[in-house]
Chain A
Amino acid sequence: MTPDIWLPLALTTAIETGTSAGTAIDGTEIAVWRDVAGRVHTWEDRCPHRGMKLSFGFVRGDHIACLYHGWQYDAAGQCRYIPAHPDLEVPKSICVKTWPVAEAGGMVWVWLGAGALVPAPDLPQAVALRSLYLDCPLSRVVALLEGGSPLGGAAQVDGAVARVGALVIGLQSVAPGRSALHITVAGAPTEAELTTLTHKAEALRRVAERVEAAA
């Protein structure tokens, strides 16, 4: 059962205009892509034709094309063009599942819930540090953050966001044993401060994975 909250799944800087990337939330595979107008999209990562991941495909204007056979989908997820049948008016039934998407605080957020949509998280602009994928469950990372981790003192966790010092961290449960942190920094950090934070983030990953391996 997916909670009715916005969930972070990438840093906005990681999804450049005209590109796509794949990720997952609790095993649900999601393609994140940005059209040439700069709008971001979060879709089921599966072409209805042969099941190929759409995140492997390429963006053409406001369409994304599957890598396998070039089927093109418009921004609403509706298939508009099948290269092998260029004259075919594509049936309305060929469409990809899409989810509501928002950008806030330097992160891309998706709404997988079945309940009524609420406004996107109200976060100030922040500097992107990095996305950090870890081979351990999100619950273990959250416990580490709350107890004081290499990233700093005890973090305050509210839904899918953790705050510690100037850090605002999006929390993503990728799959049962995998998680991701989308780490941003409020204010105007210097290059040296950001570099130090990257080392602390790697230290957190080492600790979390060591604890996980020992469990």
Chain B
Amino acid sequence: MTARLYNYDLDVDCYRVRLVASVVGLPLELVGLDVFPGHDHLTDAMLALNPARRLPVLVDGDLVLTQVPAILWHVASQAGAALVPAAPAAMLEWLSFAAGDLACATAARNASMLGQGDPVAPRAAARAALRRLDDHMVRAGIAGQGYVAGDTLTLADLALFPAFALSRDFGVDHDEFAALRLWARRVRTVPGFITMPGIPDYH
């Protein structure tokens, strides 16, 4: 049975799920919701699925998942655990970083584009987090590793990519992150890579 993703095309976390599903080649049943301005995610039916009042929500049989790392892991595991290395600790470190330390990037973008709150603090926090990721990729490059958790693409790369790719939307330019520019270019070349509105599709 095909897993069902409650999806909003402009939501960064929904894009993370679509991106991973596309790269591993797992078909999803997409249920499109109008979050802004429609607030479709706040209907009683949706709040019953996810009282946290946000998307994405993945429903696969009796399984209901609302946390992005869990959804990404489930999607990848349904396709033969591609993108999950045998020793997953480093991947989990950066997957958690994407969902935790970099969540401020989504807040900064919503503040900048939708007027939801003050963008100053989340923008500064997101820039600081991207700087940490850039420092990490500098050292990874010296060690000859092109991805955040080693020499192959993992879930962590795909979870981190959107925050960097969309950072200009909240006023953080790519100028000072040379290592991330090179890394993002590598991520874009993976078979099955897809974009979302705001991420240019070079054709």
Residues of A within 8 A of B (CB): 10-11, 14, 16, 19, 21-24, 56, 58, 67, 130-131, 133, 174, 180, 191, 194-195, 198, 202
Contact = CB atoms under 8 A, between A and B. Distances in A.
Contact of B179 (A10, A19, A24, A130): A130
Given A19-B181, A131-B178, A191-B144, 20 more contacts: A10-B178, A14-B182, A19-B185, A21-B174, A21-B175, A21-B178, A56-B168, A58-B200, A67-B200, A130-B178, A133-B176, A174-B175, A191-B142, A191-B143, A195-B139, A195-B142, A195-B143, A198-B135, A198-B138, A198-B139
Give the 4 A-B residue pairs with the shortest CB-CB distance, closest first: A133-B176, A14-B178, A130-B138, A194-B142
Which residue, B138, B142, B174, has most C-beta atoms of chain A within 10 A?
Answer: B142
Interface of B is mostly: helix
Contact of A22 (B135, B139, B174, B179): B174
Which residue, B143, B174, B178, has most C-beta atoms of chain A within 10 A?
Answer: B178
A174 B175 CA distance: 10
11 contacts: A14-B182, A19-B181, A21-B174, A21-B175, A21-B181, A56-B168, A67-B200, A131-B178, A180-B176, A194-B142, A198-B142
Nearest to A133: B176
B181 A14 contact: yes
Nearest to B127: A135
A130 B135 CA distance: 9
Contacts of A191: 142-144
Interface of A is mostly: strand
B187 to A, nearest CB: 14
A90 B143 CA distance: 48
Contacts of A19: 181, 185
**Chain B residues touching A, range:** 10 to 19
Contacts of B143: 191, 195
Given A191-B142, A195-B142, A198-B142, A24 B182 contact: no
Interface string B167-185: 0100001111011011001
Contacts of A133: 175-176
Contacts of B139: 195, 198
Given A67-B200, A130-B179, A16 B185 contact: yes
Interface in B129-177: 135, 138-139, 142-144, 168, 173-176
A14 B185 CA distance: 11
B175 A22 contact: yes
A130 B185 CA distance: 18
B135 to A, nearest CB: 6
Contacts of B185: 16, 19
A172 B173 CA distance: 17
